[in-house]
Amino acid sequence: MSVKDEVFTLYNGVKIPKIGLGTWQSQDGRECVDAVKWAIQYGYRHIDTAYAYGNEKSVAQGIKESGVDRKEIFITTKIPAQVKTYEGARSHFLSSLKSLDSDYVDLLLIHAPWPWSDVGGDYHEGNIKVWKAMIEFYNEGKIRSIGVSNFQKEDIIPLIDATGFVPMVNQIRYFIGNTQDHICKYCAEKNILIEAYSPFATGEIIDHPLLKEIADKYQVSPAKICLRYCLQKGTSPLPKSVHENRIKENIDVDFVISSEDMKYLDSLKEIGSYKRLRS
């Protein structure tokens, strides 16, 4: 079976295609529309966006122009990081639905546990309010699955304690050399899927000589090594590109990295700059 057809199954039974197109920094308008359209053309069925990206309407347009039925596409969007109220979560989600021209989304995430202007701040109470609004929409059938992004164990526990509802997904910055093993271990224990954003470390590690050595061994690009690594670690990578040839190449990863080479890649620490999200 091709990776294009492979899925992860969330704990509520919802199936999520293993590789998604990331759209962070994809410009609203033709750039994003074409990227989404090309992705679907080449077999992607998972598109990741966010209210904060400002390109939800373009994602919807790209899906429409692809000619593939909306129901075949797994769409993720996010409540903005600075929104920490029940009312704010509801209004932003309804706005996202309108922009996406859909009556539901497949996955809704809290974009971060704190506003980007106050990284590391204590917003547990606000996150609980947002989480409760998301659970309501989930129970109403407007969201097929809910989760978080950039959350650590100490951010997730209050949500579960307050509601009894475990997130289905945690989307984190994850790539060779920065695998955040501590949070991944906790999520595995809770059956929370890890989505890997920035699997190329925002392009920083693509030209690393140690990765090129492995890529040459498998006769593939370093980008494909990055994506295959994420998949074999049990995570769902979200490569971002607006270039048709790269979008096409990024989902063509039907090869296997040996266990020996996976251990070697595991040993490469901080080959991309490590951005601490907490002080």
User: Which sequence positions are flagged as catalytic?
Assistant: 53
Separation of alpha carbons 10 and 19, rounded Å: 15
Cα–Cα distance measured from residue 67 to residue 194, given in angstroms and rounded to the nearest whole number = 30
Q: In what order do the strands lie in the sheet with 74-79?
A: 21-22, 46-48, 74-79, 107-110, 146-149, 169-173, 193-197, 236-238
Q: How far is CA 211 from CA 235, 250, 277, in A?
A: 19, 16, 25
Spatial neighbors of 157 by CB under 8 A, at least 6 apart, are: none
CA angle at 50 for the pair 206 and 191, rounded to the nearest 5°: 75
* Degrees to nearest 5, angle at CA 50 with 121 and 208: 80
* 214, amino acid identity: I
CB 169 within 8 A of CB 159: no
Q: How many CA atoms lie within 13 Å of 72's alpha carbon, on the beta-carbon side?
A: 13
